[in-house]
Chain A
Amino acid sequence: MEIQKEQNGNALTLKIVGRLDAGSAPELSKELTTALDGVTDLTFDFAELKYIASAGLRVLLVAQKRMKKQGAMKLINVSEAVMEVLDMTGFSNLLTVA
């Protein structure tokens, strides 16, 4: 997994490339602990996210809970395979998928 960051003032876009699995989720989790400071508008660009497992969902849930307090979060360019996992777990109702 690779994380590409693009920051514009209080808006942060994180493009996640590759797989968000049990091996890579801790890296994203660690990144978010500091990257979200002062961010009011968080976007996850999943155009190149091929795969997500429960470890990745957990990181998204924690991020969503934090962003609810300090701003807004959305997912963009979600692939069919990733969307299926979001739907199955009810996460598509908890998260904003644009």
Chain B
Amino acid sequence: MEKITVDALVENLQTVIDFATEKLEARDCPMKTSMQLELVVEEIFVNIASYAYHPEIGAATFCMEFEENPSAVKMTFIDGGKPYNPLEKDDPDTTLELEDRDIGGLGIFLVKKNVDEISYEYADGKNILRMKKFF
């Protein structure tokens, strides 16, 4: 398993994205899948950076693990911020008209659309979000 821990700040988003894309490239992950996963990593990391410790600053850990036959990547985000299960958030209604659309919930919705498995656990004072995607 490979992991990186950074302060959960939007300024560190690129560091985490670079870590993820480098590992995915090394495993010959198709470009399209890699871009979808980049979006997943961004949305989760930015959520943690924006809400988990607010107004304090704390750490976020991102782990990647690869499987073969079939090829898949398991990704885990861990933070020690406020307990928060993003999977409990209602999906935005994507059929609403412009006036009725609001700007919340889009990030986690995109995450759910772009992974094959996702689960949340709160354990030992940590939020743990596990995801898996086949490629």
Flag if B43 contacts A51 (CB, 8 Å): no
**Per-residue contact bits, chain A 73-98, to B (CB 8 Å; 1 contact, 0 not):** 00000000100010011100110000
> Inside 8 A of B99's CB, which chain A residues have their CB?
65
**Does B63 count as interface, using CB distance less than 8 angstroms?**
no
Q: Which residues of B (92-135) have their CB < 8 Å from a CB of A?
A: 92, 94-99, 101, 103, 106-107, 109-110, 113
Flag if A58 contacts B106 (CB, 8 Å): yes
Flag if B106 contacts A57 (CB, 8 Å): yes
Q: Which residues of B (72-100) have their CB < 8 Å from a CB of A?
A: 92, 94-99
User: What is the total number of residues of chain B having a CB less than 8 Å from a CB of chain A?
Assistant: 26
> Inside 8 A of A21's CB, which chain B residues have their CB?
13, 42
**Does B59 count as interface, using CB distance less than 8 angstroms?**
no
Flag if A94 contacts B42 (CB, 8 Å): no
Q: For chain A, give the interface size range.
A: 20 to 34
Flag if B38 contacts A22 (CB, 8 Å): no
A10 to B14, CA, bound (A): 36
What is the interface of chain B, defined by CB distance below 8 A to chain A? 10-11, 13-14, 32, 35, 38-39, 42-43, 46, 49, 92, 94-99, 101, 103, 106-107, 109-110, 113
Known A-B contacts A21-B13, A23-B14; the reply to A89 vs B42 at CB < 8 A is no
Known A-B contacts A53-B43, A55-B46; the reply to A22 vs B106 at CB < 8 A is no
> Closest 8 interchain pairs by CB?
A90-B94, A54-B106, A54-B107, A58-B103, A22-B46, A53-B42, A94-B98, A88-B113
**Does A35 count as interface, using CB distance less than 8 angstroms?**
no
Flag if A89 contacts B46 (CB, 8 Å): no
